[in-house]
Amino acid sequence: MGTVKCIGILTSGGDAPGMNAAIRAVTRSAIYNGIEVKGIYHGYRGLISGEIKPFKTENVSNIIQQGGTILKTARCKEFQTPEGRQLAYETLRNEGIDALVVIGGDGSLTGARIFAQEFDYPIIGLPGTIDNDLYGTDLTIGYDTALNTIMEAVDKIRDTASSHERLFFIEVMGRDAGFLALNGAIATGCEAAIIPEIYTEIDQLKELVENGFRKSKNSSIVLVAESPTTGGAMQLAERVKNEYPQYDVRVTILGHIQRGGSPSAQDRILASRLGAAAIDALLEGQRNVMVGIRNDEIVYVPFSKAVKQDKPINRELLDTLRRLSI
């Protein structure tokens, strides 16, 4: 690979708090190293249609504290087709962009992996998703902020749960992953977390009721990961109404409140470190890797591993939650 002179940067998939801090870090670190930067708007869609603007250091001023993404984002069906990717490649050539930094989750980095292979094109990925479901990194950008948002919301709902002596199912995000639900449940002293990773192993609801939850309490909160596997909080509440009518059950779906807001200190620092490391990776001649963090050290994870392998849930966390909810 020749020397990288100009990089493009885009955000793709669901927005996550800290994406702006990552855009800032990539842009400034590139400019610091004499590399030109172009901002690509609306993710892969803007790459196909050529929504591109040169970025100077002032384009990323005052954004470290902002949620969302100044580059906008999208989930792009066209990029999933060979024709769409061909158009994207032509844009990159016309713009003189010789490497890409893609900030996004599982779907976005899958797109990056396919494109990089097809066109032998250098791409560095940054894990930007509140779900924390990318393999090879302990944390993803946005996860910590989302977890804190969940914690604040659940703390508030607990007031009603306890005053009315109710059972609450609170649905949290994490399409196919239970990290938000499990750690959110530990952080808020919930009775249980119903997560896709162990859903098929046991009937979590049955276990919960049969183990006598509410033994020592008169209200209960269960966090449920939004997922086709768990069926979500509504479905579980319906089951309780039918199978255990003695409970006064309510549902709260936290929804997109979890993706918004100013990033936490941890997310800002993580995004800044990963963004700077993305440029180091390019300078070292790395390509087609996701920059992650493990045991507080920067790591480079091949796309094939980051997106194809499922990140395992730490069973010790499940056990801790069980033990502390008696």
- Binding residues for ligand F6P (CB under 6 A): 14, 105, 129-131, 173-175, 226, 259
78: Cα separation from own chain's centroid: 22
- Residue with smaller CB distance to ligand F6P, 39 or 107: 107
Of 14, 12, 91, 9, give the one whose Cα is nearest residue 258: 14
Is residue 131 part of the annotated active site? The answer reads yes
The smaller minimum CB distance to ligand F6P, of residues 175 and 322, is found at 175
Helix, strand, coil share (%) of the chain residues, nearest 5: 45, 20, 35
Q: Which of 15, 98, 131, 267 is catalytic?
A: 131
Q: What count of other Cβ atoms lies within 10 Å of the Cβ of residue 62? A: 10
- Write down the least CB distance from residue 147 to ligand F6P, Å: 12
We find the least distance from the C-beta atom of residue 142 to ligand F6P, in angstroms, to be 9
Distance CA 32, CA 129 (A): 27
- Residue 122 or 178: which CB sits closer to ligand F6P? 178
CB of 131 vs ligand F6P, minimal distance in Å: 5
Least CB distance from residue 42 to ligand F6P, whole Å? 14
Contacts of 61 (CB under 8 A, 6+ apart): none
Asked if 209 contacts 200 with a C-beta cutoff of 8 angstroms, the reply is: no
Place of tokens 């936490």: 264
Ramachandran area for residue 97 (φ above 0: left; ψ -120 to 50: alpha; else beta)? beta
Between residues 17 and 136, which has the closer beta carbon with respect to ligand F6P? 17
Q: How far is CA 217 from the centre of its chain?
A: 34
Provide the annotated active-site residues.
131
